Amino acid sequence: MTIDARADDLELLRASAGRLRRECGIPLVFGGLRDDRGVPVTLTMGEVTSDLATITIKPSLGLGGKTFLTRRPAYVRDYGTSLDITHEYDRQILGERVTFLAVVPIVVRDDVRGLLYAGTRDSPLSTGALDSLVVEARKVSDEMEIRDEVDRRVGLAASVASAGPETAELQRLRDAFAEMRVIARETADPHTRERLESLLAATPDSPTSLTTRQLDVVALVAVGCRNAEIAARLGLAPETVKSYLRSAMARLGASSRHEAVAAARRHGLLP
């Protein structure tokens, strides 16, 4: 896999499931990401049979199908006798001796992209464990949204490169470059960060270099951000932004912020 390829989103779900098992002691965690058939169960931890992997959750069917439609977390205290859900998947779920079952949707921009389940075979999950299930599902949603945005902006950069530097498209590329630098600082996923840093790397033979933070600041200056906005977007103090900008200007031999942007572009540090 090349560094600019999107990592497998299922690994995000796997990491969350592992944390739920380790930190909350949840006996059974499973789930999957949506495809054109529904949500196939492709991740299982703590299972005693192989039957869960035969499930593909359809909208409206079972507890997960109900959650698919409502986009809200749900649980049942006694899965086998619950009248609040349909029971198409009883063979697989009851084969795991599940009593309490909870599920949280993975929602990205109001679109259900997957489901994350937690189950027990005796007592119900604690409130803390249920809260952790929601938190972990949100982590997966947030990281998938970041990856979607990275894909969109990488696609924009490719289209600009193939079409030539038309003014409007070039400005969109510059905006995307600045935003991707911010996203690289925000993402908690190391592969996404590494992918972005590779995509944003300066021209290898550039005679002038800036630190990562200096280039973050100059990239946002290039799209018209003032120091206060740059500070807010990068999570820095305004004085720290000024310090980075002064250092960048010195390295670039610039006497103003606008000269710094122009110099960075000449040296291939900015698009």
Q: Do domains 10-143 and 147-266 have the same CATH topology?
A: no
Look up residue 27 and give its amino acid.
Answer: P
- In this prediction, the residues of the chain whose per-residue pLDDT falls under 50 are 1-3
Task: Tell me which of 3.20.170.30, 3.30.450.40, 3.40.50.1110, 1.10.3720.10 is the CATH number of domain 10-143.
Answer: 3.30.450.40
Task: Tell me if the pTM is above 0.85.
Answer: no
DSSP string for residues in 51-93: GGGG-EE-TTSHHHHHHHHH-S-EEESSGGG-SSS--TTHHHH
CATH of domain 147-266: 1.10.10.10
Strand ranges (E), the chain: 28-33, 39-40, 43-45, 56-57, 74-76, 101-108, 111-119
Q: Between the CA of residue 226 and those of 50, 169, 221, 232, what are the distances in Å?
A: 57, 23, 7, 10
Sign of CA dihedral 18, 24, 27, 32: negative
How far, in Å, CA of 116 to CA of 101, rounded?
11
Q: What is the number of alpha carbons within 13 Å of residue 146 lying toward its C-beta? A: 25
How far, in Å, CA of 17 to CA of 7, rounded?
17
φ and ψ of 57, to 5 deg: -75, 130
How far, in Å, CA of 250 to CA of 119, rounded?
59
- The answer to whether 13 touches 140, Cβ cutoff 8 Å, is yes
Where are the domains positioned within the chain? 10-143, 147-266
At 1 the pLDDT is: 38
At 88 the pLDDT is: 97
Sheet holding 28-33, edge to edge: 43-45, 28-33, 111-119, 101-108, 74-76
> Which has the closest alpha carbon to 115: 140, 81, 144?
140
At 268 the pLDDT is: 78
Kindly tell me the burial class for residue 171, based on how many C-beta atoms sit within 10 Å of its own C-beta (0-12, 13-18, 19 or more).
Answer: middle
